[in-house]
């Protein structure tokens, strides 16, 4: 079972970046663009961790930190452009676990989430980080991909797409899921992106891209990374 993260962020680009990065890491990602939407989601589908922006259209994220702390023990990570010490202290006093200043590195965010979860004793579900089949070797942690022992260079988007398939190796991942997790929620109709990037990946990873043995098409549904 994957851990559920609620991302509260009104900036679309940052929200999409966080959503796709967290999804690739194996989290089930829910997003909210306002305090009211976040409160509704917290009640409906309580997450395991919250990532929270401060400047939201209907109020300040600090209100949500207080709201959550009255009801939940889950970790709260604040991500904000504000960087006055007094504000950080106020947030931490209100019950936030950690604070990241924008702009931030996604890797840093993921590391802080892992630490916050570990402090709560919430173990991250063991996520798949390696995939080996025949001549194909993928290591997500090291970000390496090799075919027949020869290292392949993937673009960041190609790697994200491949990583998403590795995490669900052997299972079909639908077009919508892939588009949402790799490009973002508003790209779920852009199936031509998938065709393009899948073609590029096959050209790099398959011996015969026209007869793929690893990156399989499930016609009309999605794609599957073969496991045998």
What tokens appear for 204 in the block?
A: 């790099």
Interaction between residue 55 and Ca ion (CB under 5 A): yes
Indicate the residue whose CB is closest to Ca ion.
55
Q: How far apart are CA 163 and CA 18, in angstroms?
A: 16
Q: Which range, of 48-56, 97-105, 174-182, 184-192, touches Ca ion by CB under 5 A?
A: 48-56
Closer to Ca ion at the Cβ: 70 or 84?
Answer: 84
Quick one: 62 or 194, whose CB is closer to Ca ion?
62
Cis check for the bond before 103: say yes or no (omega within 30 of 0): yes
Reading phi first (left if > 0) and then psi (alpha if -120 to 50, else beta), residue 217 is in beta
Whole-number Å distance between alpha carbons of 105 and 37: 26
Give whichever of 14 and 226 is closer to Ca ion, judged by the CB atom: 14
Q: Which of residues 9-28 bind Ca ion (CB under 5 A)?
A: 10
Name which of 10 and 206 has its Cβ closer to Ca ion.
10
Of residues 100 through 129, those in contact with Ca ion by CB under 5 A are none
Asked if 53 interacts with Ca ion (CB under 5 A), we say: yes
Give the strand order in the sheet containing 76-80.
28-32, 4-8, 49-52, 76-80, 98-101
Stretch that binds Ca ion, among 45-53, 124-132, 140-148, 166-174 (CB under 5 A): 45-53
């Amino acid at each position: 079972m994957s851990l559920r993260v609620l991302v509260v962020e009104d900036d679309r680009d940052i929200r999409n970046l966080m959503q796709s990065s967290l999804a690739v890491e194996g989290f089930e990602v829910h997003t909210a663009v306002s305090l009211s939407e976040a409160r509704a989601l917290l009640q409906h589908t309580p997450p395991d961790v919250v990532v929270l922006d401060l400047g939201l259209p209907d109020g300040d994220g600090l209100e949500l930190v207080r709201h959550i702390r009255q009801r939940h023990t889950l970790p709260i990570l604040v991500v904000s452009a504000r960087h006055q010490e007094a504000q950080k202290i106020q947030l931490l006093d209100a019950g936030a676990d950690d604070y990241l200043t924008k702009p931030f590195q996604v890797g840093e965010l993921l590391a802080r989430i892992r630490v916050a979860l570990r402090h709560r004793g919430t173990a991250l579900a063991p996520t798949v980080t390696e995939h080996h089949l025949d001549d194909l070797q993928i290591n997500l942690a090291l970000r390496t991909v090799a075919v027949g022992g020869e290292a392949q260079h993937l673009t960041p988007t190609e790697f994200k797409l491949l990583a998403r398939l590795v995490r669900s190796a052997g299972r079909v991942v639908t077009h919508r899921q892939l588009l949402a997790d790799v490009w973002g929620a508003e790209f779920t109709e852009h199936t031509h992106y998938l065709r393009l990037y899948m073609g590029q990946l096959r050209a790099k990873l398959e011996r015969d891209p026209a007869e793929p043995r690893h990156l399989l098409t499930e016609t009309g549904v999605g794609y599957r990374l073969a496991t045998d």
